[in-house]
Amino acid sequence: MKNLLYFTLMSIFAVATFTSCSSDKSNAEEFDWVIDTFDDVKIIRYQVPGFAELPLQQKQLIYYLSEAALCGRDIMFDQNFKYNLAIRRTLEGVYNNHKGERESAEWLAFEKYLKKVWFANGIHHHYSGDKFIPEFSQDYFTKLVKGVPADKLPTELGSVEELLATLTPIIFDPTLYAVKINQKEGEDLLQTSAMNYYEGLTQAEAEAFYNGITDANDPTPISYGLNSKLVKENGKAVEKVYKVGGMYGPAIEQIVFWLEKAAGVADATQRPIIEKLIEYYRTGDLEAFDAFNILWVQDTESNIDFVNGFTENYGDPLGRKGAWEGIVNYRDEKATERTRIISANAQWFEDHSPIDPKFRKPEVKGISAKVINNAILAGDAYPATPIGINLPNADWIRRDYGSKSVTIQNITNAYAEAAKGNGSNEEFVLREEDRERMAQWGALADNLHTDLHECLGHGSGQLAPGVKGDELKQYSSTLEEARADLFSLYFMADPKMIELGIVPNEDVYKALYSSNILNGLMTQLSRIEPGKNIEEAHMRDRKLIAEWCYEHGKADNVIEYVKKDGKTYVVVNDFEALRGLFGELLREVQRIKSEGDFEAGKALVERYGVVVEPELHAEVLERYNALGIQPYGGFINPTYTPVTDKDGNITDVEVSYTQSYWEQMLDYSQNYSFLPTLN
C-alpha cells in the first residue's frame, strides 16, 4: 500500500525542521527544484542527502539495485495499456528524427503530448486514468510519422500505413479506450477498462477463474493472479505469467542480471533476500514471492532497502494484478527516531483504537517503521511517486510477520521546496491563526500523518473469522486508505503523542485537521476536470472523510463553509468534536472491513466520496488557475556513475543532478527499453 501526496497547503511553508542534515539547507538555496512544468504537472528534482558519505559497499548495492529498477520501466507502460509502448516509440521516433521546424504551435503540442505520455507511463492520465487527447491534429501526426525513416518506428505493427491505421484512432478518438480503470458498479469492469491485465474475458469469467483456484479456508493464501495477465485462449482462461522466459521475460532477465550483481555485494542478511527474489523472477512461483516477502519484511536493520516487483493493485479494477515497481532507498537515521517511538508503542495505539474491541489485533506484530530517502524511482513509482509505503500487501504475511512502513523524507522535502511561496495558502485559508499553524507545523504534521498512516493505520485491526478480505471489491482501496487516514487523524490529537515526545503541542494536530478538511472538501478538486467525478482511491478517501464529518457535525457547526467577498472557505470550529467524528467513522470503516460488508462500504463511498458539487468545483478551479499552480508533481532521478579502477572494480559511485526531463526520458528509452512493442 502506498500513500500519495495530495496537494497540502501545509507543504507550502514547509520549514526546515525535518530536513535531515544541515547541509541540505545550503543546497536548497541554489538548487533548482522545479525543472519543468507542463499541463497539470511539475517535474521536481530530488536530492539524495548523505549518499556521498555511505560506505562503498552500500553505494555499490544502491547502484546495482538502481540498475535493476530502471530495467523494468517498459513493463509499467505495457501493463497500463497494450498499445502504450507502440505509441511511445512512435512519438520518440518522430522526436529523434524530425528534420523540420520545432517552433510551431503544433510541434509544441506534440512535445507536450510526448511529455505527458512519459509522465503517465502511457496515454491515460496517471491519476484520473482518463485518456488525454493531443492538442495537434491527426493530419499533423500523419505528416510527422511519414517523415520518419520506417526503421526508426516500431515495425511490429507493420508498415508505416498500418502503424498509422492502428494508432491514429487509439490516440485521437475520445471514445476508444477512454478510461484506464472503470469502477462503475453494474458495468463489466474489464471490458470497459483499458488496462492490460486481462484480455478477451468478461469480468464474470475472470472472477470465475480466480474463484475456482482460491481456497477460502487457506490461512496463508498465495496472491493468485498478482504476476500475470489473464487471457482467453481457445475458449479457456489462461494466465500469461510474468517471469524469465514468460511474459515480460526480456525485461525481467535484465532485472535479474543486476539483482545478481547486487547479491554479489550484499551482506549475509540481504544476499538470501535478493536471491529469493531472483528465484521468484525465474520461476514466476508466487510461493517464492511470499517466501521473499517473509525474508524481506524481517530485515529491519539493513540501511539500504528496495522494492522490486509486481506490487500494488490499484491499477486492476478487480484489485488482483500487481503493477511493476522499483524503488531503492536508504535510511535517514535522525528522522527514523520518531518512527521508532511510534512503532515501539504500536500495541498501545491498537488497544486504544476507537473501534469495536473484537476487531482490534490482540497482538500487534513486527511493525517496523523508518524514514528513508529514495535513491531511485522506477515503474509504477516514477515519475509520480508515493511519499509513504507499507509492504508487503499480503494480509496473512502482515498478520504473521508484520510489515515494513516507510516515510519518504527526501521526496516530501522536495515537494515542500517546490511549493514554496505559490500563494495558495493566502488564497484558500481564511483565518490567520490557521495559516500560522500550517506555516509553523505543517511539515511536521504532514510527515507524522504519513508515519501514522503507514506504520500503524494500515497494519491495525483484524478481520472477523471467515472473512477473506476481498469482499469489498472496487471499494476496497478507498476504504482501506480511509481506514489508515482515520487512524492517523484520530491519534494525532491524542495526548499520548505529546507524552511520547513526538509532537510538541496541540497546534500540530490542529494544523493537520484544518488542512485535511479543506483539502477533502475543496482544494483537491483542483485535480478534477470540470464535469468529472472523483475516481482515485486516495482522493475518494479524503473526500469521504471530510464530507462525512461535515454532515455528521453539522448540527454542532463543527465544520463550516464561510462566504467572504464572493469566495468560499472551509473552517474547522471545533477540533475536539472533529476528533470524535474521526473516531466514530474509523469504527464504522473498520467494521465494514472486518465484516466484509460490501453494501455498507459501497453506500459510504458512493454517498460521500465520489460526487463533485459543480459550483464549488468551478470556483476552486478558477481560483487555482489564477494562481498558476500545477496540482501534480513528479520526480526525475539523480544519475549514478560508477568509478572503476583499471580492473573494472567499482571504487566509488558518483551522483549528479544534471539531466533534464527530456534527457532522462530519452536516456531511459534508449538504454533501459527491453520489451517488444507488443507483449
Q: How many residues bind Zn ion (CB under 5 A)?
A: 4
By the rule CB under 5 A, 385 interacts with Zn ion: no
Phi and psi at 102, nearest 5°, equal: -130, 30
By the rule CB under 5 A, 226 interacts with Zn ion: no
As measured in angstroms, the least distance from the Cβ of 535 to Zn ion is 17
49/39 Cα distance (integer angstroms): 30
> Residue 164, CB half-sphere, CA atoms under 13 Å: how many?
16
By the rule CB under 5 A, 381 interacts with Zn ion: no
As measured in angstroms, the least distance from the Cβ of 216 to Zn ion is 26
* Cell 545478481, located at residue: 260
Residues 75-94 binding Zn ion (CB under 5 A) are: none
142/444 Cα distance (integer angstroms): 52
C-beta of residue 512 within 8 angstroms of C-beta of residue 449: yes
As measured in angstroms, the least distance from the Cβ of 658 to Zn ion is 34
| 374, β-bridge pairs | 329
As measured in angstroms, the least distance from the Cβ of 3 to Zn ion is 4
Residue 63 or 475: the one with the smaller Cβ distance to Zn ion is 475
490/503 Cα distance (integer angstroms): 14
Residue 60 or 339: the one with the smaller Cβ distance to Zn ion is 339
Between the alpha carbon of residue 271 and those of residues 260, 265, 401, the distances in Å are: 9, 8, 20
C-beta of residue 60 within 8 angstroms of C-beta of residue 660: no
As measured in angstroms, the least distance from the Cβ of 185 to Zn ion is 23
Q: For the chain, first and last CA: distance in Å? A: 27
Between the alpha carbon of residue 476 and those of residues 1, 234, 318, 453, the distances in Å are: 12, 33, 10, 16
By the rule CB under 5 A, 476 interacts with Zn ion: no
By the rule CB under 5 A, 222 interacts with Zn ion: no
Q: Which H or E run includes 205?
A: helix 203-213
Exactly one of 387, 484, 508, 558 binds Zn ion (CB under 5 A); that residue is: 484
Q: Which amino acid is at 101?
A: E
Residue 291 or 479: the one with the smaller Cβ distance to Zn ion is 479
> Residue 20, CB half-sphere, CA atoms under 13 Å: how many?
24
> Which region, judged by CB under 5 A, interacts with Zn ion, from 306-314, 478-486, 512-520, 624-632?
478-486
> Which region, judged by CB under 5 A, interacts with Zn ion, from 104-112, 200-208, 324-332, 477-485?
477-485
Residue 60 or 450: the one with the smaller Cβ distance to Zn ion is 450
Residue 480 or 588: the one with the smaller Cβ distance to Zn ion is 480
> Which region, judged by CB under 5 A, interacts with Zn ion, from 71-79, 122-130, 139-147, 483-491?
483-491
Between the alpha carbon of residue 31 and those of residues 6, 84, 491, 665, the distances in Å are: 23, 34, 36, 21
As measured in angstroms, the least distance from the Cβ of 482 to Zn ion is 9
> Which region, judged by CB under 5 A, interacts with Zn ion, from 137-145, 213-221, 431-439, 476-484?
476-484
Nearest to 352 by CA among 552, 553, 551, 493: 493
> Which region, judged by CB under 5 A, interacts with Zn ion, from 90-98, 338-346, 475-483, 592-600?
475-483
By the rule CB under 5 A, 477 interacts with Zn ion: no
By the rule CB under 5 A, 335 interacts with Zn ion: no
By the rule CB under 5 A, 3 interacts with Zn ion: yes
Residue 167 or 484: the one with the smaller Cβ distance to Zn ion is 484
By the rule CB under 5 A, 405 interacts with Zn ion: no
By the rule CB under 5 A, 1 interacts with Zn ion: yes
For the chain, helix (H) and strand (E) counts, in that order, are 25, 16
425/449 Cα distance (integer angstroms): 19
Residues 286-325 binding Zn ion (CB under 5 A) are: none
C-beta of residue 222 within 8 angstroms of C-beta of residue 290: yes
**Residues binding Zn ion (CB under 5 A):** 1, 3, 481, 484
